[in-house]
Amino acid sequence: MSSSSQPPSSTNVKPKAKSGLWRSTLIVSAMTMLSRIAGLVRDMVLLNTFGADRMMDAFLVAFKIPNFLRRLFAEGAFAQAFVPVLSEYKSQRGDAEVRDLVSKVAGSLSLILMAITIVAVLAAPLIMWVFAPGFKNDPEKFHLAADMLQITFPYLLLISLTAFAGGILNSYGAFALSSVTPVLLNLVMIASALFLSPHFDIPIMAMAWGVLIAGLAQLAVQVPALYNIGMLPRFKVDFADEGVKRIFTLMLPAMFGVSVSQINLLLDTILASFLIAGSVSWLYTAERLTELPLGLIGIAVATVILPSLSTKYAEKSDVEFRAMIDWALRIIVLVGVPASLAMLILAEPMIVTLFHHGKFSDNDVIKSAAALQALSGGILAFMLIKVFAPCYYARQDVKTPVKIGIIAMISNMVFNLMLVWHWHHVGLAFASTLSAFLNAGLLYWGLHKKDVYRLDKHWLALGARYFVANAAMTTVLLVITPNLAYWFGAGWHYKVAYLLGICVAGVATYLVVLTIVGFKWRDLKH
């Protein structure tokens, strides 16, 4: 992001999106699928190379802290505050003012992030004590995690600027690049595990450097795209600017509202640090698998609708605003419910097939699968949050989701303390599911009360069709899925083929029955 580059002519500043919401969603979903597949390969390589032991726990916490702040600060609060204001500027102001806003936000954001990064690197042991206090019982693991945090934390600065660039590109209808950029993180981490780790006295340290290198790569690939649309920023620091002030005013409370699920997962990690070695890794494995359907559909839909919702609100198009929410909800329920049920039933087969290699033991499979089953129910809730929260931020309403987020976060801690003593890491996972449903329910109720969006009568018939199709799919999966003993004993190629066959049978059953009971696929178009 060079400050000296001049943008192209204004004819390139406001390109029109060439496709509708559905096509954009498919593009984002396809790019996200590529990223998630690369992420699964990454996790397979990591767990196979290092196992689910105390060293892996140390790295995962050192990586999770900046990654959590990335979701909270950059892709969460910042994106939800920046995109609506940018969309308003695009709709109501000239090209020069839009470019000026981008430059001032870039400079002001970078200054804040640099200050946070410097403080965090210097205070890494203190931060580690806050986020993983249980590690103090193992001094070697604690100090290793703190050392790795000093290397990984600058990733927050790099990935936040990447998210900033992605928010600009999304606002101009260019969704593909920002959606596929995470592939670079996965590829670099895979390369670090396979080729870099043998050169370190402590092999897991290579992964910390891999995270930093990946952050640089992700930012670098955004630069040509920003230049092509005339939005390469000049990095001006101006906190007094009206647009900058509005963005940061919206952003600060939004940190709770939009990212409460991430806060809850991080709180789970804190409590897991007190449990037996491997607990953090088991939770991580489960979380990664739940992120697959969440990323493919939930995040894809949320990414696409936020700029559109913001524009409709700026144009005072209330009817179209509601129609867009309803469309997003139809997509989410269509995918979220069967994904939750399938994850519940296929938790053990999926983890055996993907991760039961090298140092990932039988016990690791059982423990990770139990956590995945507890989290699977929350997939739908996590997706609903991704749809309902942008409805508030598009309207520049941050107070309501903040209040709801605080309620959900407190509830999650209560659930954690109630469940962790008997169910250990599984209780932590299930607490996240419960708090996610509470969060999603309260977000919807807020929209309902303000008459922003209400479920119409057509959802009765639609819900019945979804129910029948999901019941049929569940029955088929339960009948054709072998017990755990088969999966432990079968060869890897047989496991892959059998699991793919089960998935194909489940999807086919769901789609066929849904069609038979009268589901109108044309309703998915917007």
Q: What is the pLDDT of residue 12?
A: 41
**Do 447 and 462 touch, CB atoms closer than 8 A?**
no
User: What are the sequence ranges of the domains in the chain?
Assistant: 20-455, 456-526
How high is the mean pLDDT of the chain? 84
Give the CA distances from residue 276 to residues 123, 196, 279, 285, 420, in Å, rounded to whole numbers and listed in that order: 26, 29, 6, 16, 12
Q: What is the pLDDT of residue 24?
A: 64
Tens-digit pLDDT profile for residues 271-283: 877 887 778 788 8
CA distance 518 to 89: 43
Tens-digit pLDDT profile for residues 442-479: 999 999 998 888 888 889 999 999 999 999 999 999 99
What are the helix (H) ranges across 51-138?
Answer: 54-69, 79-92, 95-122, 124-131
**Do 204 and 140 touch, CB atoms closer than 8 A?**
no
CA-angle at 440, arms to 437 and 443, nearest 5°: 145
Q: What is the pLDDT of residue 430?
A: 93
What are the helix (H) ranges across 356-491?
Answer: 362-376, 378-394, 399-423, 425-449, 458-480, 484-489
Q: What is the pLDDT of residue 249?
A: 82
Question: In this structure, is the dihedral angle defined by the CA atoms of residues 232, 237, 242 and 244, taken in order, positive or negative?
Answer: positive
- Amino acid letter, residue 363: N
- Amino acid letter, residue 103: S
What single string gives the DSSP state of each residue in 187-245? HHHHHIIIIIGGGSSSTTHHHHHHHHHHHHHHHHTTHHHHHHTT--------TTSHHHH
In the numeric block, the tokens 């200050």 are attached to 115
Tens-digit pLDDT profile for residues 370-427: 999 999 988 999 889 888 988 887 887 878 888 888 888 889 889 988 998 888 889 9
Tokens of 362: 């039988």
Q: What is the pLDDT of residue 21?
A: 59
In the numeric block, the tokens 């309501």 are attached to 400
Q: Which residues of the chain have pLDDT under 50?
A: 1-19
**Do 287 and 372 touch, CB atoms closer than 8 A?**
no
